[in-house]
Amino acid sequence: MVIQRWQSLLLLAAAVAMACFAFCTIGQISTADYSLALSSLGFSYEGIPTGDAPSGWFQHTWYFFAVAVLGTILPLSAIFMFKNFRLQKQLTIVSMLLSMAGFCIALLLGYNAIDESAVSWNYSVLCAPVIAVVALWLAWRYICRDQRLLASTDRLR
């Protein structure tokens, strides 16, 4: 018998938070000539182009998108690894590292990608990796607690 209660909900909450981080606009970067939307896919020009104004993508960031999507997929797959506590804990720890890496990449891209620009962040999306890390840490604690509980009941047999 495997006890899976809170950690499944926490892993799902972490996956939802990272999905929002992966697919929503994280911030807006304004320069003297144009403004760009920053998402995990990259920088895209904002607004409807008029005249000779640029449109489309300014720069793609596939590595950032890969980190954000892996941070979404790994907690979802950890939910279904309930029969293997060790693998579930490892996936949770790797998911925490990916969430922290995604947050750091977003900050580095926002502040360092384009010179002489101002950044305005969408804080509700920017704090999604922080929420995911907290949820993953709590899930890891619940997984460890269930593992200890099941080990103690096995000793009684």
Q: What is the pLDDT of residues 26-42, one digit of tens each?
A: 998 888 777 888 889 88
Query: What is the rounded distance in angstroms from the CA atom of residue 130 to the CA atom of residue 19?
Result: 13
Q: Break the chain into its structural domains and give their ranges.
A: 6-24+63-114+122-156
And the tokens for 114? 């384009």
In the chain, what is the straight-line distance between the N-terminal and C-terminal CA atoms, in Å?
14
pTM, rounded to two decimals:
0.84
Residues with Cβ within 8 Å of 89's Cβ and at least 6 positions away in sequence, in order, are 140, 143, 144
Tell me the average pLDDT across 5-9: 87
pLDDT tens readout for residues 89-130 = 999 999 999 999 999 999 998 888 787 788 888 988 999 999
Q: Where are the alpha helices (DSSP H) in the chain?
A: 6-23, 62-79, 85-112, 123-126, 128-156
And the tokens for 43? 């920088």
